[in-house]
């Protein structure tokens, strides 16, 4: 069975919510839609305070090539456009909409019937992806139309659909593959035509045998698409790791997947592409796993963007008394939340409620030079060395030690027997190296 070679760890899987099918979460009374829900330039609002909007209406326009449109997730009136704290607690520009009814834009097809438009040209598909505000749904939220537009001189050879979901606890992609398999395959077909490539591989870890079985059965009807079961290993869902596991090719340091002819999209993105093209539906809702060991109801919800995280937790039975941390995203790469009022964004894949005794940071001790972090690093870096450089604020040396190759998977901090916060120091190193690179350019 295939897997990436270098490094990797095996955190406990804890996929508690695997069996819970996707439920629609009721539309909340107030939604907060941040203008920067994607990597790149924040979108520009095209509505004003007091305007009434309908579900699916464009409310903020992409402000550059690496940017994405944002559509209203609800119908109602725009209450205000001003900075509101996001999941980090920092105030960021957002459109706050007071919900009234649920009136959708007429052009959106709200039925469940499967549509297979096959007359669309490559340009039409890319234009539609861009127009509907599709971004990478795995968590990095990179605008999808940028990934699909292959730069001149490069050629895409293979499309990889990422159904790995290597983060512990999260099950939203797994449920999506089981319940919307047909749609994902059609979406993958659109992406293949846009690139254009004649083969696509869906990579799924073998801890999801039902999803592998289901998609394999369905994919027989789709020429060029096959399913590749993968060994369970974190962080297999990382773009570069997945390419290595499936094609054996290694993306060069500082390079992009397209340099080795590969393009990777998440299963959630493939589903969003299907909805955008076949159903004319912009990206304004997503599947979010709400899970935790002492949570009353572990669930996968289909949530409108902008819903406060607190209402997701309420729907899952409320915050348990023994809660230590609430994490947005998975426990490995997610962020601990400073409060529960922040809204769901296009990149929120899960909300993990950790018990107090699980989430305690153990006492930090000295580095014993065991090099476990170096063995665990999937990018072949030396985290202990990068951390000491970061502590000494030697940014230029961090640059030469390839700090920018770090994808912040957290395997180093996870594996450290001295409980050292390796990733935290590498992360500030990355910020400072990027700052230096920017200064050097200008």
Partner 1 sequence: MNTIVITIISLSLIGVLAGVILFLIAQKFKVFEDPRIDDVEAVLPGANCGGCGYPGCRNFADSCVRSENLDSLFCPVGGNDGMVKVAAVLGRAAVAKEPTVAVVRCSGNPDHRMRTARYDSAPTCEIASGLFAGDTACSYGCLGLGDCEAACDFDAIHMNPVTLLPEVIDEKCNSCGACVRACPKKIIELRKRNKKDRKIFVSCVNQDKGATARKACSVACIGCKACQKVCEYDAITIENFLAYIDPVKCRLCRKCVEVCPTGSILEINFPPRKTAESELCLTEISPN
For partner 1, the binding residues (CB under 8 A) are: 85, 88-91, 335-339, 360-361, 421, 424-425, 427-428, 431
Task: Write down the residue that tokens 């039975």 correspond to.
Answer: 317
Name 327's bridge partners. 336, 352
CB of 91 to partner 1, least distance (A): 6
CB of 316 to partner 1, least distance (A): 21
- Using the minimum distance from each CB to partner 1, give the nearer residue, 117 or 324: 324
CB of 208 to partner 1, least distance (A): 31
d(CA 434, CA 414): 25
- Using the minimum distance from each CB to partner 1, give the nearer residue, 264 or 422: 422
CB of 404 to partner 1, least distance (A): 16
d(CA 64, CA 35): 13
CB of 428 to partner 1, least distance (A): 5
- Using the minimum distance from each CB to partner 1, give the nearer residue, 131 or 424: 424
Distances (CA, A) of 239 to 284, 341, 348: 24, 31, 18
- Using the minimum distance from each CB to partner 1, give the nearer residue, 199 or 431: 431
- Using the minimum distance from each CB to partner 1, give the nearer residue, 196 or 339: 339
Degrees, nearest 5: CA angle 169-72-308: 40
CB of 336 to partner 1, least distance (A): 8
d(CA 316, CA 190): 35
Residue 78, CA atoms < 13 Å, CB-side half-sphere = 22
- Using the minimum distance from each CB to partner 1, give the nearer residue, 249 or 427: 427
Q: Give 259-306 as a DSSP string.
A: GGTEEEEEHHHHHHHHHHHHS---S-EEEEEEE-TT-S--EEEEEETT
Instruction: Return the H-helix or E-strand segment holding 45.
Output: strand 44-45
- Using the minimum distance from each CB to partner 1, give the nearer residue, 215 or 387: 387
d(CA 305, CA 179): 21
Nearest to 256 by CA among 274, 269, 243, 268: 243
CB of 342 to partner 1, least distance (A): 10
């Amino acid at each position: 069975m295939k897997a990436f070679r270098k490094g990797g760890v095996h955190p406990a899987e804890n996929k508690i919510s695997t069996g819970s099918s996707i439920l629609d979460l009721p539309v909340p009374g107030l939604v907060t839609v941040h203008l920067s829900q994607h990597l790149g330039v924040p979108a520009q609002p095209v509505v004003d305070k007091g305007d009434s909007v309908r579900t699916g209406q464009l409310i903020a326009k992409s402000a550059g090539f690496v940017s994405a449109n944002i559509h209203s997730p609800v119908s109602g009136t725009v209450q205000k456009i001003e900075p509101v704290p996001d999941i980090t607690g920092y105030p960021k520009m957002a459109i706050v909409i007071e919900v009234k009814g649920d009136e959708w834009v007429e052009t959106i097809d709200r039925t469940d019937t499967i549509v297979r438009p096959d007359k669309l040209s490559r340009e039409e598909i890319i234009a539609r992806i861009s127009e509907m505000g599709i971004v990478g749904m795995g968590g990095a939220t990179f605008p999808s139309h940028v990934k699909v537009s292959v730069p001149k001189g490069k050629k895409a050879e293979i499309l990889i659909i990422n159904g790995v979901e290597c983060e512990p606890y999260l099950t939203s992609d797994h449920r999506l593959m089981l319940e919307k398999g047909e749609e994902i395959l059609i979406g993958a077909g659109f992406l293949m035509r846009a690139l254009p490539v004649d083969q696509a591989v869906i990579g799924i870890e073998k801890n999801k045998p039902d999803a592998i079985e289901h998609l394999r059965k369905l994919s027989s009807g789709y020429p060029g698409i096959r399913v590749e079961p993968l060994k369970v290993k974190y962080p297999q869902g990382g773009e570069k790791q997945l390419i290595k596991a499936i094609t054996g090719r290694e993306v060069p340091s500082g390079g992009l997947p397209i340099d080795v002819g590969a393009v990777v999209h998440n299963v959630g993105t493939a589903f969003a592409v299907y909805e955008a093209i076949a159903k004319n539906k912009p990206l304004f809702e997503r599947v979010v796993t709400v899970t935790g060991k002492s949570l009353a109801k572990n669930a996968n919800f289909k949530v409108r963007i902008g819903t406060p995280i607190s209402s997701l937790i309420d729907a899952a039975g409320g915050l348990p008394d023994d809660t230590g941390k609430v994490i947005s995203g998975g426990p490995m790469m997610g962020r601990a939340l400073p409060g529960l009022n922040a809204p769901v964004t296009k990149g929120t894949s899960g909300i993990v409620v950790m018990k107090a005794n699980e989430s305690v940071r153990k006492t930090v001790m000295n580095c014993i030079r065991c090099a476990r972090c170096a063995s665990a690093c999937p990018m072949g870096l030396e985290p202990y060395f990068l951390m000491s450089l970061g502590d000494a604020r030697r940014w230029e040396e961090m640059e030469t030690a390839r700090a920018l190759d770090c994808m912040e998977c957290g395997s180093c901090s996870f594996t450290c027997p001295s409980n050292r916060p390796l990733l935290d120091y590498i992360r500030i190193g990355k910020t400072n190296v990027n700052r230096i690179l920017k200064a050097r350019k200008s």
